């Protein structure tokens, strides 16, 4: 999205949105990491919000500039569903890897398995989505095939 904004000529908007996200992350980290009940979880929450807020700012700007209506399934459902299934599969794979002695090998196998599941699901769902859009938008068949 930042590249699209820069191509649009709005060079400062990505910088402002990313700076806003960084400030939010610093505030959340400073306030909540020292809390015993929240602790290190505040770091991941701060990181999540530091990406979400710039995305929200950029999308709000682009929404007014783009005539194409952005669909929920296109932007959120496919990655969310793929991530959820990957996490569930990761929870199922984890007990199987308990017998692997080397922690690095165990981590590598786990990450590869979850990543491959995510990519396969994303590709399958994206192909189905693009094929369903083919009747509305003229899409190059080679692009659909490559996805």
State pLDDT tens for residues 17-41: 889 989 999 988 888 888 777 778 8
Residues of the chain with pLDDT under 50: 136, 139-147
Q: Which pLDDT does position 134 carry in this prediction?
A: 54
- What is the value of pTM for the model shown? 0.50
| Beta carbons within 8 Å of 8's beta carbon, 6+ residues apart | 65
């Amino acid at each position: 999205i930042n590249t699209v904004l820069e191509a649009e000529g709005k060079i400062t908007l990505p910088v402002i949105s990313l700076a806003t996200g960084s400030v939010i992350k610093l505030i959340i980290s400073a306030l909540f990491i020292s809390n015993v009940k929240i602790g290190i979880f505040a770091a991941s929450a701060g990181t999540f919000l530091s990406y979400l807020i710039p995305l929200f700012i950029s999308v709000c700007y682009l929404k007014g500039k783009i005539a194409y209506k952005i669909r929920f399934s296109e932007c959120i459902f496919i990655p969310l569903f793929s991530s959820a299934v990957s996490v569930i599969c990761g929870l199922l794979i984890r007990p199987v890897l308990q017998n692997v002695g080397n922690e690095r090998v165990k981590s590598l196998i786990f990450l590869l398995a979850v990543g491959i599941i995510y990519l396969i699901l994303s590709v399958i769902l994206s192909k189905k989505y693009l094929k369903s859009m083919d009747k509305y938008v003229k899409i190059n068949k080679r692009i659909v095939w490559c996805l």
